[in-house]
Amino acid sequence: MRILYLSHCPPYPPDKGDRIRAYHILRLLAQRHEVHMVCLARNAQELAGACPLGNCPASVEIVPVSRLRSYLRVGVAGLLGQSVTVAYYREAGFKRHVDEALQAVRPDVVLAYSTPMGCLAPNGIPLVLDMTDVDSAKWLAYSQFRWPGWLYRLEAERLRLAEAKVTAKARVVAVSTLAEKRLLRLIAPQAHIVALPNGVDLGYYNPAAIEVPDELRNREFCAFVGQMDYFPNLQAALWFATQVLPYLRRRRPRLEFFIIGRNPPRSLRALASRPGVVVMGAVADVRPFLVAARFVVVPLIIARGIQNKVLEALAMGKRVLVSPAVAETFGHDLPLGATVCADPSDYERAVDCPPSPSPEQIRQEVARRFSWDATVEQLETLLASALGAG
């Protein structure tokens, strides 16, 4: 198939949730089909990091998002009663590159990654939309915790209308979990919706290939990994550091909480003065920390889709203590090695529980359930069916 792939972000480097999914899907599709990609870069870092992609798809066009124009688009959209999320990505240069690709490539099918990209997909060509998450639900959750709540609720309502409209345009809509599928069904009851889970790179996340540095060997710590300027991660880290860690340290005074991830804001860096809290910031490689950690925590209060940080920790054979919100994303089938903890006493009971199952059992189970090869094979079937339906 000749596939035109539209993405709101460059899929490289695969070190962040949206880029991880895009990277593995693009990598495997490009091995089997003629894939041409047009994507947006939201900052200079994304633009620079996209360079290695030239060897993967048949062609790559990366369009920088103008900060000034994006602010103007968002302002106008707000006044006109439209979704600011969709408006932010409506970069004029993106449409021009898409039109040029249509003429040069003549794709059989368009694969659009995210709701805004689905809105920008050309008409007249079969569209498969990889929505991944129902983002309007995330904005609605933000309204409960962030100021001004009414503004987040307003964007949730407007984005929900955009989601309903774009799903009607697509032949098939993919989301990452059954929970997201049920949620989207309420918005778009007539849409053809398929749950397409994330995978995990077991070759990369392999504890046998990682040597633990000496400075980590004698430390007793739990770890949380994520992009720390992303509100759900920030919220989770603050909650665990202030509400759970002091409770656990009453009986385990040596226990530390390592917060690992880029761009920790001032409110998070300030926690480093608290006993046991270590704000690492960005690290070259998270794997040694995962190997050395006694356990991994993912205490998100707001959680949408599959959390890659859970899969990656499980792939390293680690026990992962997750919040009820994270557990809900897996439906009724929580992965082996994951334990639900709602409050400090739950965490204490989980920490006291003898390690079971074994690290190898945890790793084998995540390998069985979460495979990028299986996900992309299913996606290929969806693309072919969309093409055939045309």
Q: Which helix (H) or strand (E) holds 151?
A: helix 149-169
| C-alpha to C-alpha distance for 163 and 94, rounded to whole angstroms | 20
CA dihedral 82, 86, 89, 90 (to 10 degrees): -50
Quote the pLDDT of residue 390. 55
Convert the pLDDT of each residue in 95-108 to its tens digit. 999 999 999 999 99
C-alpha pair distances (Å), 71 with each of 52, 66, 67, 274: 29, 9, 6, 38
Identify the structural domains of the chain with CATH numbers, from first to last. Answer: 2-199+371-389 (3.40.50.2000), 207-369 (3.40.50.2000)
Mean pLDDT, residues 332-340 taken together = 93
Whether pLDDT at 209 is above 80: yes
Whether pLDDT at 91 is above 90: yes
pTM of the predicted model, to two decimals?
A: 0.95
DSSP code string of 195-237:
E------TTTS-GGG-PPPHHHHT--EEEEES-TTSHHHHHHH
Sign, Cα dihedral of 76, 81, 87, 90 = negative
pLDDT band at 54 (very low <50, low <70, confident <90, very high): low
Convert the pLDDT of each residue in 342-351 to its tens digit. 999 999 999 9
Quote the pLDDT of residue 355. 79
Whether pLDDT at 52 is above 80: no
Mean pLDDT estimate for the chain: 95
Mean pLDDT, residues 60-77 taken together = 95
Quote the pLDDT of residue 50. 73
